[in-house]
């Protein structure tokens, strides 16, 4: 049994006093300074406010190795996820252990100082294997580790100056100590937390309500608004949905608070981490569901973790976490009785209704009915506002392929066909055109090509966000860069990758610009396909080979694909 009052006593924070903060901020202005990434800002906030208690800063090398290997800090304390400050090689080269650095947010405001004790180059593949279970880029955190995070880690204690500034839902955000104080004020002693990154529907409402009853506890709905899985419903929409659902609980049993956590989707280890974080926020119970914080399928199409691995691991460490697990009942709707019931308690012969997440997205995408037994009309209305049917959303068609493969020609034909159909503005970001207007200073090194593609991705994502159609036609030879662009765009609309797979021999035979000849003669360096790599897309939405096929037919194949994806009304 957990010692109740303990969970409501104040928890240590890493902030200095107000007066010291002013002084420190002044002094810190002359320190070497690191502009934090959005994920680091989320981590820093929870470090400073005690959400990551007992951590005192970004992990040292010893703590990191120990956490990676055995889910424990070097002193033996349970801690499942490495909280590290990843930086670039250039920045790390100028920093020596023993030095202080300033940590700034994206506007340049100094939020904290870090007293660097450790600087090391981690073995990221090992981190991926041990922490996430596989060194597989299909896992969002593994992809982040290899393709977004910097190569060097800095560790050391944090001195907090001020929390990151939030302009949204300020009244709904609470530090661990604010929540503890709220629970004390309300007289709540047993509190069950519900972690979520999805909109709540009737089944969730029913299960959280039951969990609270079962634990004889009050309920804290504790949604993550920091970073979740790429492709999730944005947190602005979700919070409006949660607010609608909050009214459906019996008054004064339930509250909601927003958690600025950057999730890793690490399944079992993440569940343990979530538990520790909720303990720090004053909770006594925590709901762990089927496939908790699951990252989706691996590159072989299988689940990364078993559906109940998270519950098993949590149960194993329950005492050390200091929080009781309430296991999630899979709730389904029984038509005859017009109510939700746990799936494992239902007798044969009754009609059970269920709509999966995938099916819900399909219905939203296609503008189909979403029944009242499944969700609340207010929630569905909010979701429809942000997710109009696909045929009214913006999207991007991204052609990739060798020089001379026919990308530009097909892209031009596609643009004309889409303009003929009308309805949405169309912009063509052709390789050559972009290099003239957006990237004229860039060459063809890997670094420059990546910058070029990211610029195209950025413009395409803005077009997509604003409901237009972006057609891109660069070579884009690198898989990881194409993936980064896909992620940028999928936040706002569909991304349709078209691999123009005309073989090198055919491109070279055509040699429409005479560049292959020059490349063979060594007069053009780093020429894709000749003296520079082209990584073929493994699973593009569409692959076309222009050998012996006319342009009109290729463009038509793209149109058919777009229709099939529901992006243009048939
Ligand atoms: S990348 O890799 O995606 O940034 O390339 P991209 O912006 O599409 O530019 C490719 C066009 O530039 C011409 N060109 C070269 N291509 C590849 N390698 C080298 N070294 C090179 N130098 C110049 C070439 O005409 C490409 O145009 P397309 O339309 O693809 O033939």
ipTM of the complex: 0.90
Within the chain, which residue ranges are assigned CATH 3.10.400.10?
Answer: 5-160
Query: H helices within 292-441, ranges in order?
Result: 309-321, 357-366, 377-386, 407-421, 431-437
Within the chain, which residue ranges are assigned CATH 3.40.50.620?
Answer: 170-332
Pocket probe for ligand 1: among 433, 437, 515, the residue whose CB has the most ligand atoms within 8 Å is 515
Q: Is the dihedral of CA 154, 156, 162, 165 positive or negative?
A: positive
d(CA 313, CA 524): 57
Cα–Cα nearest to 460, from 432, 426, 437? 426
Pocket probe for ligand 1: among 430, 475, 507, 520, the residue whose CB has the most ligand atoms within 8 Å is 475
Output the residue whose Cα is nearest ligand 1's atom 18: 527
> Of all atoms in ligand 1, which is nearest to the CA of residue 452?
4
Left if phi > 0, otherwise alpha if psi is -120 to 50, otherwise beta: which for 470? beta
The domain 170-332 is placed in CATH, from the list 2.60.40.10, 3.40.50.620, 3.30.43.10, 3.10.20.30, at 3.40.50.620
Q: Is 198 a catalytic residue?
A: yes
Catalytic hit among 117, 147, 198, 237: 198
Q: Is the dihedral of CA 210, 215, 220, 223 positive or negative?
A: negative
Q: What is the DSSP-derived secondary structure letter of residue 128?
A: I
Within the chain, which residue ranges are assigned CATH 3.40.50.300?
Answer: 390-564
Q: Is 196 a catalytic residue?
A: yes
Q: Is 121 a catalytic residue?
A: no
Output the residue whose Cα is nearest ligand 1's atom 9: 431
Name every protein residue with a CB atom under 6 angstroms from any ligand 1 atom. 403-404, 408, 431-432, 435, 444, 449, 452-453, 474-477, 513, 515, 524, 526-528, 532
d(CA 413, CA 434): 18
- CB pairs under 8 A, 24+ apart, for 423-427? 424/394, 424/467, 424/468, 424/469, 425/463, 425/468, 425/469, 426/468, 426/469, 426/470, 426/471, 427/459, 427/463, 427/468, 427/469, 427/470, 427/471
Binding region for ATP: 401-408
pLDDT, residue 2, reads: 46
pTM above 0.90, yes or no: no
Q: How many residues does the chain have?
A: 570
CA of 236 to the centre of ligand 1 (A): 40
Architecture of the 390-564 domain: 3-Layer(aba) Sandwich (3.40)
CA of 405 to the centre of ligand 1 (A): 11
d(CA 526, CA 519): 8
Per-residue pLDDT for the chain (570 aa), expressed as one digit of tens each? 444 467 899 999 999 999 999 999 999 999 999 999 999 999 999 999 999 999 999 999 999 999 999 999 999 999 999 999 999 999 999 999 999 999 999 999 999 999 999 999 999 999 999 999 999 999 999 999 999 999 999 999 999 999 999 999 999 999 999 999 999 999 999 999 999 999 999 999 999 999 999 999 999 999 999 999 988 888 999 999 999 999 999 878 999 999 999 999 999 999 999 999 999 999 999 999 889 999 999 999 999 999 999 999 999 999 999 999 998 878 899 999 999 998 889 999 999 998 988 899 889 888 899 999 999 999 999 999 887 888 889 999 999 999 999 999 999 999 999 999 999 999 999 988 899 999 999 999 999 999 999 999 999 999 999 999 999 999 999 999 999 999 999 988 999 999 999 999 999 999 999 999 999 999 999 999 999 999 999 999 999 999 999 999 999 999 999 999 989 986
> Of all atoms in ligand 1, which is nearest to the CA of residue 474?
8
d(CA 158, CA 343): 47
pLDDT, residue 6, reads: 77
Output the residue whose Cα is nearest ligand 1's atom 4: 449
CA of 475 to the centre of ligand 1 (A): 6
The domain 5-160 is placed in CATH, from the list 3.10.400.10, 1.10.150.110, 3.30.1490.100, 3.90.700.10, at 3.10.400.10
Output the residue whose Cα is nearest ligand 1's atom 5: 475
Pocket probe for ligand 1: among 402, 412, 528, 531, the residue whose CB has the most ligand atoms within 8 Å is 528
CA of 128 to the centre of ligand 1 (A): 34
Residue 236, Cα to own-chain centre: how many angstroms?
Answer: 15
3-state helix, strand, coil in the chain (%, to 5): 40, 20, 40
Binding region: 401-408
> Of all atoms in ligand 1, which is nearest to the CA of residue 519?
20
pLDDT, residue 1, reads: 44
d(CA 73, CA 55): 9
Cα–Cα nearest to 218, from 235, 193, 246? 193
* Owner of token pair 């949204």: 168
Catalytic hit among 119, 197, 390, 486: 197
* Owner of token pair 């979700």: 238
Catalytic hit among 159, 196, 218, 228: 196
Question: What phi, psi does 478 have (nearest 5°)?
Answer: -110, 130
């Amino acid at each position: 049994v957990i010692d109740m009052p303990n969970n409501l006593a104040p928890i240590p924070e890493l902030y200095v006093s107000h007066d010291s903060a002013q002084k420190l901020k002044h002094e810190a202005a002359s320190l070497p300074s690191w502009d934090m990434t959005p994920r680091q800002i989320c981590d820093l906030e929870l470090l400073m406010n005690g959400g990551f208690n007992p951590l005192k800063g970004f992990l040292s090398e010893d703590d990191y190795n120990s956490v990676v290997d055995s889910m424990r800090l070097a002193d033996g304390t349970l801690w499942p996820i490495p909280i590290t400050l990843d930086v670039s090689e250039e920045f790390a080269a100028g920093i020596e252990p023993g030095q202080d650095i300033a940590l700034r947010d994206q506007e340049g405001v100094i939020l904290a100082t870090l007293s660097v004790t450790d600087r090391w180059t981690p073995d990221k593949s090992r981190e991926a294997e041990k922490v996430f279970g596989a060194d597989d880029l299909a896992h969002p955190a593994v992809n982040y580790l290899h393709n977004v995070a910097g190569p060097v880690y800095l560790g050391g204690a944090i001195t907090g100056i001020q929390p990151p500034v939030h302009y949204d839902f300020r009244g709904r955000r609470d530090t661990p100590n604010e929540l503890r104080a709220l629970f004390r004020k309300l007289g709540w002693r047993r509190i069950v937390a519900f972690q979520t990154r999805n909109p709540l529907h009737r089944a969730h409402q029913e299960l959280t309500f039951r969990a609270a009853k079962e634990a004889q506890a009050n309920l804290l709905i504790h949604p993550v608004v920091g970073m979740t899985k790429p492709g999730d419903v944005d947190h602005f929409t979700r919070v409006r949905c949660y607010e609608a659902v909050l009214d459906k609980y019996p008054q004064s049993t339930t509250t909601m608070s927003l958690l600025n956590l950057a999730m890793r989707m690490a399944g079992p280890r993440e569940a343990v981490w979530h538990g520790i974080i909720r303990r720090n926020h004053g909770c006594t119970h925590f709901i762990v569901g089927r496939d908790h914080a699951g990252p989706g399928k691996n590159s072989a199409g299988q689940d990364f973790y078993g559906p109940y691995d998270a519950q098993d691991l949590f149960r194993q460490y329950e005492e050390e976490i200091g929080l009781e697990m309430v296991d999630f009942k899979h709730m389904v709707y029984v038509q005859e009785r017009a109510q939700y019931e746990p799936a494992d308690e239902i007798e044969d012969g009754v009609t059970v209704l269920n709509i999966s997440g995938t099916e819900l997205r399909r219905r939203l995408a296609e503008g189909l009915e979403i029944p009242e037994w499944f969700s609340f009309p207010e929630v569905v209305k909010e979701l429809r506002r942000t997710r109009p049917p696909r045929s009214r959303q913006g999207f991007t068609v991204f052609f990739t392929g060798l020089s001379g493969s026919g990308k530009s020609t097909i892209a031009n034909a596609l643009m004309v066909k889409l303009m003929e159909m009308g309805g949405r503005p169309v912009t063509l970001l052709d390789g050559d055109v972009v290099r003239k207007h957006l990237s004229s200073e860039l060459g063809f090194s890997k670094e420059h090509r990546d910058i070029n593609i990211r610029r195209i991705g950025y413009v395409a994502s803005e077009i997509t966000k604003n409901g237009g159609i972006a057609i891109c036609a660069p070579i884009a030879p690198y898989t990881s860069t194409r993936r980064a662009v896909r992620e940028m765009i999928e936040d706002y609309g569909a991304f349709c990758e078209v691999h123009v797979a005309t073989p090198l021999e055919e491109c070279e035979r055509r040699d429409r610009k005479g560049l292959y000849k020059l490349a063979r003669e060594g007069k053009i360096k780093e020429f894709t396909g000749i003296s520079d790599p082209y990584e073929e897309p493994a699973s593009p939405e569409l692959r076309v080979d222009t050998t012996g096929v006319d342009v009109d037919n290729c463009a038509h194949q793209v149109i058919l694909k777009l229709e099939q994806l529901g992006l243009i009304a048939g």
